[in-house]
Amino acid sequence: MGLKSHVILFLLLFGILPAWAQVQQPLRVEVELQPNDDHYMVMSMQENGVVLFRELADRPDPRKRVWEVVRLDTLLQEVFIKNYFVDFETELVGYEYRDEHFYLLFREGQYSKDDLKIIKINMLTREEQHFEIKQIVPITLTEFSIVGDAALLGGYVNFRPAMIHYSFELQKIKVLPGIYRNHSELLELDINDENNTFTILMTERTRDKRSTVSVKRFDARGELLQNVQLEPLPNSSILYGQTTNLPGKEQFIVGTYSHKRSTYSRGIFIARLDPNSSEPPKPKYYNYGDLKNFFNYMKAKRAARVKQRVERRKIKGKKLRFNYRLLVHDIVQENGRFLMIGEAYYPKYGSYSAFSYYPGYGNMAFEGYKYTHAVVIAFDQKGNLVYDNSFEINDVLTYQLEQLVSINLQEGNVILLYTYEDVIRSKIIQGNQVLEGKAFNEIELAFENDIIGNNNNKVGGLKKWYGDYFFAYGVQKIRNPNMIAAEMNREVFYINKIIYSFDSLSAETSVEKP
């Protein structure tokens, strides 16, 4: 049965809208799920729409698995849908979209030594290519990306990091040099489409066994161009790093640092990387206590007490020690500035039960990761701090540690959004100022009298799409008492098109065609 028979497109009627900014949801698509159906995974294709994909429960041939791939345009209307058949033992281990092509990476078995297969699909012409990759090392995969005409496959071999370069043209693989090291972890694989290079960030150990970060830059053929290691401050460690690409070849590295060998961060650092130098860059460090708005997620009285303690320590020439875990996002450019977005979190534990136990914590049960707030920190091109702001996240507890907040720059404002339990949370900032505090907008439904049921399924989120648009997606159980009995209850996978607009007439809309 085709996707169109399950899809509902609707136009939200706004009437007369206030002049201030607001969340608008002009379009929604629903796919009704049957009891054994998997939900879709979804990726942005920017102006080319979105791609949905999932494994189908219905298998015409019991010896084959069936993967369904669907392209929707920016009006959430179906462009095409196609099924791809793979052997039953084959498992999906990665996927990527780049330069109008969608890639599915499969392992032909359940072991790290088993061979790999890539299906490359042109999402405009629907042409497809299949590539078989014979394993030369048993790698446990954690990274998959595309640069130029090559695939990059990263992971671990015997608990050491490794990166494999596979040329689609030559259909040959090679292991990249300088990656396979003791006491190291892969932090980031960043692709620079402008100059067809890629950067690998790894944790390393200093001679006195503190943690730091090394930066290795390669061209699209897998030739090493640069290899430098950051030098942490005395009695400090560098925990994490994230790169950003500037016009030309220069890069910034932004991340977190800690006291000595602690795994909790004390602040953030920024370093400018000269692509023509083998000398390590000199990072600039900022303690969390140096930031004006870092603690604004707290209640006003508590935040004021913390800031007073910070000032008293500064007067004495000392810095207050903070212990945070920060999930750092990609860097966003804003009028010659660079915005680092991070989300502070901590693992939450409760009392032990027979069905929930977390090793290493006695009788404590792991309940999930509790987010506290997102922080936005702006730098100039010399790495100097320009401003900081924050966005409280006091309602999210999840087992999966992943990027939660999405960001958009519009009319000189920074718009922050995330979804949780079918509600869009948003905030607008400009520099150190808050233009609009935390607002709440429910995910719009398809029909009048639709009611969201008890959703225990936490599938979903909100992602940046194209221009000023986002999309929210997930699984919802919906009931509508005004419908006939057969249609009163439904479970759907949905996508809502979203814009946080200062102009009520700017949102694209469409109605279902007969």
Give CA–CA dist 394/390, Å, rounded. Answer: 12
The whole-number pLDDT of residue 319 equals 64
Whether residue 2 has pLDDT greater than 80: no
Q: What percent of the chain clears pLDDT 90, i.e. is strictly above it?
A: 52
> Are the C-beta atoms of 496 and 27 separated by less than 8 Å?
yes
Give CA–CA dist 120/105, Å, rounded. Answer: 9
**Confidence band for 140, pLDDT divided at 50, 70 and 90:** very high
CB-neighbour burial class of residue 365 (10 A; exposed 0-12, middle 13-18, buried 19+): middle
| Per-residue three-class SS string for 251-264 | EEEEEEEEECCCCC
Lowest mean pLDDT: which of 15-19, 276-280, 339-343, 409-413?
15-19
Reported as type and span, the H/E element at residue 106 is strand 101-107
**Confidence band for 356, pLDDT divided at 50, 70 and 90:** very low
Whether residue 405 has pLDDT greater than 50: yes
Q: How many residues does the chain have?
A: 514
> Are the C-beta atoms of 178 and 205 separated by less than 8 Å?
no
pLDDT tens sequence across 357-393: 445 445 578 888 899 999 999 998 888 999 999 999 9
Query: 305: helix, coil or strand?
Result: helix
pLDDT tens sequence across 275-303: 778 888 889 999 888 888 888 888 777 77
| Residue boundaries of the structural domains of the chain | 1-32+405-514
pLDDT tens sequence across 60-99: 898 999 999 999 999 999 999 999 999 999 999 999 999 9
The whole-number pLDDT of residue 395 equals 80
Whether residue 7 has pLDDT greater than 50: no
Residue linked to tokens 């399924």: 457
The whole-number pLDDT of residue 362 equals 53
Task: Please provide the average confidence, as pLDDT, over all residues in the chain.
Answer: 85
Q: Which of 226, 227, 255, 260 is nearest to 242 (CA)?
A: 255
Range 291-320 average pLDDT: 76
Give CA–CA dist 28/11, Å, rounded. Answer: 8
Range 414-424 average pLDDT: 91
What's the Cα-to-Cα distance from 283 to each of 210, 288, 381, 429, rounded to whole Å? 16, 16, 13, 27
Whether residue 353 has pLDDT greater than 70: no
pTM of the model: 0.87
The whole-number pLDDT of residue 246 equals 64
Q: Could you tell me which residues come within 8 angstroms of residue 514 by beta carbon, excluding any fewer than 6 positions away?
A: none
The whole-number pLDDT of residue 432 equals 87
The whole-number pLDDT of residue 317 equals 64
Residue 49's Cβ-side half-sphere holds a number of Cα atoms within 13 Å equal to 19
What's the Cα-to-Cα distance from 443 to each of 314, 447, 451, 503, rounded to whole Å? 45, 12, 11, 20
Give CA–CA dist 455/421, Å, rounded. Answer: 8
Whether residue 500 has pLDDT greater than 70: yes
Whether residue 514 has pLDDT greater than 50: no
Give CA–CA dist 295/267, Å, rounded. Answer: 13
What's the Cα-to-Cα distance from 434 to each of 15, 21, 427, 438, rounded to whole Å? 28, 13, 8, 9
Q: What are phi and psi of 308, to 5 degrees?
A: -65, -40
Whether residue 24 has pLDDT greater than 70: yes
Range 460-489 average pLDDT: 89
Give CA–CA dist 217/185, Å, rounded. Answer: 16
Give CA–CA dist 329/406, Å, rounded. Answer: 9
> Are the C-beta atoms of 130 and 117 separated by less than 8 Å?
yes
> Are the C-beta atoms of 31 and 3 separated by less than 8 Å?
yes
Q: Which of 346, 329, 343 is nearest to 294 (CA)?
A: 343
The whole-number pLDDT of residue 502 equals 66
**Confidence band for 511, pLDDT divided at 50, 70 and 90:** very low
The whole-number pLDDT of residue 277 equals 80
Whether residue 173 has pLDDT greater than 90: yes
Could you tell me the two tokens for 400?
């999966």
Could you tell me the two tokens for 60?
């015409």
Whether residue 247 has pLDDT greater than 50: yes
The whole-number pLDDT of residue 311 equals 77
Give CA–CA dist 220/192, Å, rounded. Answer: 10
Range 385-414 average pLDDT: 88
The whole-number pLDDT of residue 321 equals 67
Highest averaged pLDDT of the listed ranges 27-31, 332-336, 508-512: 27-31
Q: Which of 391, 414, 393 is nearest to 339 (CA)?
A: 414
The whole-number pLDDT of residue 415 equals 92
Query: 487: helix, coil or strand?
Result: helix
**b/e per residue, 110-148, with b = 16+ CB within 10 A?**
eeeebebbbbbbebeeeeeeebebebeeebebebbbbbb
| Per-residue three-class SS string for 168-223 | CCCCEEEECCCCCCCCCEEEEEEEECCCCEEEEEEEEECCCCCEEEEEEEEECCCC
Whether residue 40 has pLDDT greater than 90: yes
The whole-number pLDDT of residue 22 equals 81
Could you tell me the two tokens for 412?
């000189």
Strand ranges (E), 220-331: 224-229, 236-245, 251-259, 265-273, 284-287, 325-328
Range 403-410 average pLDDT: 91
pLDDT tens sequence across 185-218: 999 999 988 888 999 999 999 888 899 999 999 9
**b/e per residue, 271-284, with b = 16+ CB within 10 A?**
bbbeeeeeeebebe
The whole-number pLDDT of residue 512 equals 35
Whether residue 15 has pLDDT greater than 50: no
Q: Which of 235, 229, 259 is nearest to 320 (CA)?
A: 259
Lowest mean pLDDT: which of 12-16, 186-190, 253-257, 428-432?
12-16
The whole-number pLDDT of residue 503 equals 55
Whether residue 314 has pLDDT greater than 70: no
